[in-house]
Amino acid sequence: MWYVSTRGMAPRVDFEGALFSGYAPDGGLFMPEKLPQLDRETLCRWSALSYPSLVMELCALFIGPELIPRDDLNDLIHQGFSRFRHREVVHLSRLRNGLNVLELWHGATYAFKDLSLCCTAQLLQYFLEKRKKHVTVVVGTSGDTGSAAIESVQGAKNVDIIVLLPKGHCTKIQELQMTTVWKENVRVFAVEGNSDELDKPIKAVFEDVAFVKKHNLMSLNSINWSRVLVQMAHHFFAYFQCVPSLDVHPLPPVEVVVPTGAAGNLAAGCIAQRMGLPIRLVTAVNCNDIIHRTVQHGDFSLSETIKPTLASAMDIQVPYNMERIFWLLSDCNSQVTRALMEQFERTQSVHLPKELQSKHSQVLSGPSLCSQVPRSCPDCWADPRNSLRDLSPGEKGDTLYPNEEE
């Protein structure tokens, strides 16, 4: 499997190349050159798999046995999920009225980013071990990414991690998660400013190609293909759990509402859909609504400022994974994508061409939701008819600090 840049001006790379690159040298993001198409037989087979095995099958499709033999890959993935608190790793809770919630929060830091980072960190260490190399991961965070990235590589011998967190802008728990890991390879700094301001020096560091090369720096946010890849699995998992049977023609559609920040999860859903999974995607944003405006009106433009909300992981100005979606929806047209993104970088405002916008409304078919997360969550959580609080049988209640009794 080869990976090409969405902007079409960089040499293609294999999975290992994409994993270690972050941005492609032309400023684009790596995408698979060709998406495998899944037939009904494959989907039926996958529908019986556990979540980790589903991740394993997906990774095998996109990595290839010449890079990681299947047995090794299987061990890496299962090792990655070994610290999850739920035996299924990911669990679908059924609410009233046919609504379901996919519980993606059973990882060590409670962020859904644990799911993709724990696997990505395993893949990273596999290649580093094989090549006798060392990298330093540099992460800027508004909260979730920092904790999950630290958790995924803490104690790893070929990886150091440096995390910059915006002082006073993360939750107390997140700050503690980041600042109380006593491992030689973890360094955390609190910096003045919000997470967007913090991204600027980090971006500048990564633009200094010689510096990055000299110090073997890399990023672990969702520009990284590996994270998007692993995140596809929960779209498949949710689909299989929601449909009663795969014996009907055509396969029944399932609507997936995706809370969206940098659009990594949304991009993963779009790719899964292109591979033949019959899902409809609905984007959910808070008042930081660039994706909503893009999907509804083709208006991909920055708003003046970020408005802080309780859902800080969704308080994002520049949803960089939209570039992957533009590329997919323009039928892998790197010229169109490059023109769009370069104009966006120059003027911070683009109007999508008509044809591309109509594709958006076909793929992201539901209305996008633009609401206050805090208003709907407590109601849903408090309703005793919903079983969200329940953990799987046999588990005691969830505790904030999972290891405190050990």
Q: Rank residues 296 and 333 by Cβ distance to ligand PLP and give the closer one.
A: 296
Residues forming the site for ligand PLP (CB under 6 A): 111-113, 144, 222, 259-266, 313-314
Query: Least Å distance between CB 58 and ligand PLP?
Result: 17
Paired with 3 in beta bridges are 13, 32
132 is catalytic: no
Nearest-10 crossing angle of helices 264-274, 225-242: 60
Cα separation, 313 vs 181, whole angstroms: 21
Residue spans of alpha helices (H) in 160-312: 172-179, 195-207, 209-214, 225-242, 264-274, 290-297
Q: Which of 225, 162, 317, 210 is nearest to 23 (CA)?
A: 225
Cα distances (angstroms) measured from residue 13 to each of 17, 30, 36, 133, 393:
5, 9, 17, 19, 45
The structure tokens listed for 273 are: 């859909």
Q: Rank residues 22 and 185 by Cβ distance to ligand PLP and give the closer one.
A: 22
Q: Rank residues 140 and 261 by Cβ distance to ligand PLP and give the closer one.
A: 261
User: Exactly one of 113, 167, 172, 359 is catalytic; which is it?
Assistant: 113
What length does the chain have? 406
Q: Which of 324, 254, 334 is nearest to 291 (CA)?
A: 324
Q: Rank residues 156 and 285 by Cβ distance to ligand PLP and give the closer one.
A: 285
- By annotation, the residues acting in catalysis are 113
